[in-house]
Amino acid sequence: MNYHFDWEPIWAHRDLLLSGFVLTVAVSAAALVLAVVLGTLLGTLATAQSRLARIAAATVVETTRNVPLLIHMYFWYIGLAFLRLPPFLCAVLGLAIYSAAYVGEIVRGGIDAVARGQSQAALATGLTRAQSLRLVVYPQALRIIAPSLAGLFSQLIKDSSLASVITVAELSFAASAIESDTFRSFEVYITISAFYIVLVLAASNLVLLLPGAHRSDLTVRVADA
């Protein structure tokens, strides 16, 4: 092994890495918000009383998550090229819709895990169906699913690296640019790998700040899928 380590070129390109890091956080955060909103809708639909709604939700979840993320991104970027959506938006939409299927499954599991008597009692006290969901079921479900959500968030951050393929200049894109400029392949990829690990750790621990979320051995670890 006669490889000479040289970290100088990495430091010289720190502004590129930094802007890549910011963009990774931006793509992930935007996709996360959208995925949670869509996923909550899907998960609620999957526990609805109407059989049609449940079948519709299950179909959407199955078709969405059995198609690779890369194809989701290509769909917005290349498939709908005539719309001329900016790459950032394509990445966010692809990532959000793909992840929403997983959020939906988690939310469905969480709602199912809240004792049935809870929503029945809520309805019996005169709350509307929406109020019972918002005030009684969701808060309890959130506590139950917090560890799974943490896993999903870290998965989403890692998945955001695929945005580089559709020319979003996030971390992985910056790494490829620096690599082709300096040929310090090992140093640059190890560096961004460290960036991702820090981000993933931060995300999986941030979820613990959710109201009522409990610290469990699941969430303090690096990422589950």
Cβ proximity to other proteins, 1 vs 130, nearer residue: 1
Q: By CB under 8 A, is residue 1 in contact with other proteins?
A: yes
Helices 14-46 and 171-182: angle between axes, nearest 10 degrees = 150
Please select the residue that binds other proteins; options are 21, 74, 88, 153, rule is CB under 8 A.
Answer: 74
Q: By CB under 8 A, is residue 154 in contact with other proteins?
A: yes
Dist CA 41 CA 148 (whole Å) = 17
Dist CA 120 CA 200 (whole Å) = 38
Q: By CB under 8 A, is residue 223 in contact with other proteins?
A: yes
Q: By CB under 8 A, is residue 218 in contact with other proteins?
A: no
Q: At closest approach, how far in Å is the CB of 178 from other proteins?
A: 12
**DSSP readout, 106-151?**
HHHHHHHHS-HHHHHHHHHTT--HHHIIIIIIHHHHHHHHHHHHHH
Under a CB-based contact definition with an 8 Å cutoff, are residues 187 and 13 in contact? no
Q: By CB under 8 A, is residue 115 in contact with other proteins?
A: no
Q: By CB under 8 A, is residue 201 in contact with other proteins?
A: yes
Please select the residue that binds other proteins; options are 196, 207, 213, 219, rule is CB under 8 A.
Answer: 196
Q: By CB under 8 A, is residue 205 in contact with other proteins?
A: no
Q: By CB under 8 A, is residue 190 in contact with other proteins?
A: yes
- What sign has the CA pseudo-torsion 43, 44, 47, 53? negative
Helices 171-182 and 185-206: angle between axes, nearest 10 degrees = 170
Footprint of other proteins (CB under 8 A): 1-3, 62-63, 66-71, 74-75, 78-81, 154, 158-162, 164-165, 172, 175-176, 179, 183, 185-186, 189-190, 192-193, 196-197, 200-201, 221-225
